[in-house]
Amino acid sequence: MGYSKSVYDRAQRILDQRRLDAKRDSQMRTEAFLSAHPRAMEIENELTHTFTAIARAMMAGEKEKILSIKEKNLSLQAELRGIYAAAGVTPEELKPRYTCMKCHDRGNVDGVECSCRRELLKQIACDDLNRRSPLSLSDFDSFELHYYPEQFRRKMSNIYNFCKGYAQNFSEYSDGILMTGGTGLGKTHLALAIANEVTKKGMGVVYISAPEMVSALEEYQFGREGVRRDITPSLLTECDLLIIDDLGTEFATNFSRSSVYSVFNSRISRGKPTIISTNLSLKELEQAYSDRFVSRVTGYCRRLHFEGNDIRIQKKLERIK
């Protein structure tokens, strides 16, 4: 389970560019230092010659000459340290400043994929997917509580405040959320508002409808032509936050049920938060999926039940007036 070839290619180009930039920057800083302190370059050259001279003396068995060269070498090193100290820098500070100091922007450490590459792949894939999604269409400021009947307004205000706090304090350890309630009550609006805020933190968010997710997984599983390789099991499992909208509107099959459960269960095992919105009641979810699935969801997610009248219809009527 991986990402599309284009994602891997772009990640490698970014890593290569990071490495190149770090080396160029190091070279420029080193050249500036040597230009201001030409004696440092002379010492570096002399040190190189002493190493060669020691090797030759050792081959010739000239012990006294070896000791003389070593003394000169130590003297040169001390002089060089003095130049660095006077300049207020260290040799380490002139070395490349890689984005990832573990792998030096190679993407692997001793043949094992570095965590920086995994994060980069995830971020690129999330950005690609969300570029085509409506993440920017909803925010917390545009959520209007006056559309809810008075008897539900306090409850919906609490839900709004919870979602806003959830987004502000989001971390990899956040709980999941199950949003239930009828159509047009603001579930998608608040889910998108959360996605918006979490994305601004630089985290990988995938917002996807349940039908689109199942369709993509089906295409991925059975290798049909035209498969959308931007939506992969790896992306759905590894993203920092997965938002599944309209659960229960997908065409119900054994594959769809097992796929939804597998993605959700995989994220639980990794401790990754998931937000699910659905128009179905808990009983209807049990009928559509299973008691086991609903038990898993309610045990892992904080349930927010939306109540009121369809806001979309109310806004439509206002436009007609």
Q: What are the tens digits of pLDDT across the range 192-236?
A: 999 888 888 878 888 899 998 998 888 887 765 544 556 788 889
Is the per-residue pLDDT at 34 higher than 50?
yes
Three-state DSSP state, 70: helix
Query: Whole-angstrom Cα distance, residue 21 to residue 15?
Result: 10
Domain residue spans of the chain: 5-113, 132-320
Query: Whole-angstrom Cα distance, residue 262 to residue 278?
Result: 18
Is the per-residue pLDDT at 2 higher than 90?
no
Is the per-residue pLDDT at 272 higher than 60?
yes
Is the per-residue pLDDT at 1 higher than 50?
no
Collect all residues with Cβ–Cβ distance below 8 Å to 204 and sequence separation of at least 6. 122, 123, 125, 126, 238, 239, 240, 241
Instruction: Give me the pLDDT at residue 22, please.
Output: 94
Measured distance between the N- and C-terminal CA atoms of the chain, rounded to whole angstroms: 53
Lowest mean pLDDT among 45-49, 302-306, 315-319: 315-319
Report the b/e string of 164-185 with b at 16+ CB within 10 A: bebbeebeeebebbbbbbeebb
Give Rg (Cα) of the chain.
30
Closest CA to 12 of 116, 126, 129, 130: 116
Instruction: Give me the pLDDT at residue 321, please.
Output: 63
Global pTM value: 0.68
Closest CA to 69 of 50, 95, 49, 97: 50
The distance from CA 311 to its chain's CA centroid, rounded to whole angstroms, is 34
Taking residues 125-139, report their average pLDDT: 69
Pairing of strands 112-113, 108-109: antiparallel
Token pair 């808990």 is found at: 282
User: Which of the residue ranges 45-54, 131-140, 272-281 has the most confident prediction, judged by mean pLDDT?
Assistant: 272-281
Q: Select the CATH number that applies to the domain covering 132-320 from these four: 1.10.10.10, 3.40.50.300, 3.10.20.740, 3.40.50.10320.
A: 3.40.50.300
Instruction: Give me the pLDDT at residue 317, please.
Output: 74
pLDDT tens by residue, 81-106: 999 999 999 989 999 999 999 999 99
The mean pLDDT of the chain is 88
CB 187 within 8 Å of CB 275 = no
Backbone angles phi, psi at 242, to 5 degrees: -110, 130
Three-state DSSP state, 300: helix
Beta-bridge mates of residue 276: 178, 244
Instruction: Give me the pLDDT at residue 172, please.
Output: 84
